[in-house]
Amino acid sequence: MKNKKYSILLLALFVANVTFAQEETIAPDAPPADTANLPIVDTDAQAEGMAGAPFVADEKITTILLENFEIPQGWLSSIPIDFGVSRILYRDGSPEEIASDENKTVLGVKTIFFRRNYGWMSIDRPFPMYIRNIVRNFSMWVSGRDKRHSIFVKVRDIYGNRLNISGGDMRFRGWKNVIFSVGAPVVQYDPIYTAKGLEFLGFHISFVAEDIATSEPYYVYFDYLTAGVNLVPETVDSDDIADDW
């Protein structure tokens, strides 16, 4: 009887050790405190020059890649049911300026309108993406169809407020790198809070009635969404007191 109990105990310890080892092996590394494990890419000079206010001279704007739309993430599109229907689909292609073996597909949205009116569409991630540090701008390639419809990036600030950041209208044909400058209305820091930054939620499109056609679908495509964040390295004077006690 003792041998049986001893065998059961050894088996339990073995299973526990294997389980612990598996969890330790597959558990992801903790993301770094600066970019939340998002890749750093080349900074666009145009986007850097349109950093949102307030802007200080010693800021270091670093560009991180949020989404290149290569792997389906479960994006959702919604539009008022009496206004039209929309569909999301990943499509082959990319702007020539950023085409590569790692960037072959884009996010496409097809909309069929039931009537001409001033309306809207929401294009959402299945869950918010939290961006650490202060975001100065978003940048994304958009393929427009020469319409006056306006494109926005949707975010949530540290107070839980949902806000739309304008990228202007889409009165252009083909691909254009659209900059969304993040300004003061988006609160990303408060001395009382330990966290800073914002949550990226998705996109918003406001439609202009005069540019809506009920006889044919409306298409728009997105690619290579980045964020310019403020990464200022903390410096400590050589004679300063260490906070390690």
Query: Which CATH number fits the domain that encloses residue 56?
Result: 2.60.120.260
Cβ distance 219 to 109 under 8 Å? yes
Is residue 241, in this structure, part of any structural domain at all?
no
Does position 38 have pLDDT exceeding 80, yes or no?
A: no
> Which residues are CB-neighbours of 195 under 8 A, at least 6 positions away?
132, 158
Residue 17 domain flag: no
Q: 3-state DSSP call for residue 14?
A: helix
Residue at 8 is within a domain: no
- Amino acid at the residue 22: Q
Which residue would you say has higher pLDDT here, 23 or 62? 62
* Inside any domain, residue 150: yes
- Answer yes or no: is 91 within a domain: yes
- pLDDT (0 to 100) of residue 33: 37
Q: Would you say residue 145 lies in a domain?
A: yes
Please state, in angstroms and rounded to a whole number, the distance separating the CA atoms of residues 218 and 208: 12
What gap in Å lies between CA 86 and CA 76, rounded to an integer? Answer: 10
Low-confidence winner among 2-11, 181-190, 214-223 (lowest mean pLDDT): 2-11
Residue 56 included in any domain: yes
Q: Look at the chain and report how many structural domains it folds into.
A: 1
Q: Is the pLDDT of residue 52 over 90?
A: no
For residue 199, give its domain range.
40-230
Q: How far apart are CA 190 and CA 192, in angstroms?
A: 5
Q: Name the token pair of 76.
A: 């959702």
pLDDT of residue 222 exceeding 80: yes
Using 50, 70 and 90 to split pLDDT, how confident is the model at 225?
A: very high
Residue 53, in any domain of the structure: yes
Looking at residue 31, its pLDDT comes to: 38
The secondary element (H helix, E strand) that includes residue 198 is strand 197-206
